[in-house]
Amino acid sequence: MTPTTARIAIIGAGPGGLTCARVLQRHGVPVTVFDRDASDGARARGGVLGLPMTTAQEALRAAGLYEEFAALARPEGREVRLLDHTATVLFHHTPGPGPSDRPAGARPGSAHPGATGRSGTDGPGTDRCEIDRGDLRRLLLASLAPAAVRWNSYLRTLHPLGDGRHRAEFDDGHTETFDLVVGADGTWSRVRPMLSDADPHYTGVTFVESGCEDAGTRHPEAARLVGGGSMAAGSAGRALFARREGRGRIRLYAAFRGSQDWALEAGVRMADTDAVRAVLLDRFAGWDERLLALLRENDGGFVNRPLFALPVPHTWTHTPGLTLLGDAAHLMPPSTARGADLALLDGADLARALAARDEADEAVRAYEAVMLPRAAAAAEAAARALADALAPDAPRGSLHQLRTTFGDPQP
């Protein structure tokens, strides 16, 4: 089948799936996106995505949306701090003269110095930006043809028909047959089992998320401790990660090794903010009070985020009529902040391969040949960074990594 005559289904309306659909439509290739949500507004799309400008520019220029994206994006602060559990600064990188922090076309005044954050390390002089998840999703959805996304369509299973086609069976009982099904449906993908026996495994690490709003005014000590970008503090398998975001927010993660059912085992409910705070303060007992204040003074409670990952490398034997992108293909820890930008790049790469080749199967082979090794390298780096951050001798490994990346500035 040629791409323009093939029936193509994308399962999952996340950033990667929507980018793929948008680029396909720009090239005149028909596609339908199926998502389990009842509508775009069925779930809150909170949080911020940190993206390297090079990746965002490549993927969103392919989608014809870069100018609109740049108007919504904010620069991330590039200051990096590493502390030990006594709040002693071991490493402090302040970016010097170099490429502009502001994305081309970004709104003047959309951020102020120290008001946004950096997640991950891409090397000296590398620009990064951040954008609200909801803003990026709305931008991508608005760019698609009417009815391109079918909501309330949860894929139950796929039935191979023996000629590269698959019959998709949805939860409401209706079925449709497709020549290519793209699994862009995240951690617990329904498409992945058709290609791979691998299941996401618990990494043994849990992040507990919280945050401080209007940090400069309401939490000045926390703002001074975190600085104008990102801060990490680690010791003996525990870590605190904090980063500046837009609108004066600090996002905080308390990270530790242990059971993913730690709250249940401790006899607390995540909705009981005071009880969760007490358990976390006990886990971080002995840490400097300036660091513990990040846990004491958060706004809006705690969110439990056990980290799951796919095996590294995660590969599969090419199967006509099926492929994966984003977390469905290469779920990894967020320690290098690569999940979102890889999903965007996957979606753009797959769509461009389909648009450039006469045979859909040839295009998928070409896409997988590029995507799989790229994803493996990123997943290896993410696993290594997470291991360093929560090692028994932490933050020694993280300090070595930062010195390798940025040189050896004085604290």
pTM: 0.89
Average pLDDT over residues 40-65: 82
> Beta strand 238-244 with 48-52: parallel, antiparallel or unpaired?
unpaired
Task: Quote the DSSP letter at residue 80.
Answer: E
Distance CA 321, CA 231 (A): 44
Q: What is the pLDDT of residue 247?
A: 79
Distance CA 390, CA 205 (A): 8
Average pLDDT over residues 247-274: 95
Using alpha carbons, select from 317, 319, 325 the residue that is nearest to residue 182: 325
Q: How many CA atoms lie within 13 A of 27 on its CB side?
A: 23
Q: How confident is the model at residue 126 (pLDDT cuts 50, 70, 90)?
A: very low
Average pLDDT over residues 259-265: 96
pLDDT digits 0-9 by tens, 24-45: 999 999 999 999 998 877 676 6
Q: How confident is the model at residue 325 (pLDDT cuts 50, 70, 90)?
A: very high
Q: Are 161 and 167 a contacting pair, CB within 8 Å?
A: yes
Least confident of 103-117, 195-209, 271-285: 103-117
Q: How confident is the model at residue 390 (pLDDT cuts 50, 70, 90)?
A: very high
Q: Are 226 and 279 a contacting pair, CB within 8 Å?
A: no
Q: Which domains does the chain have, with CATH numbers?
A: 8-42+49-73+131-200+310-386 (3.50.50.60), 74-129+202-308 (3.30.9.60)
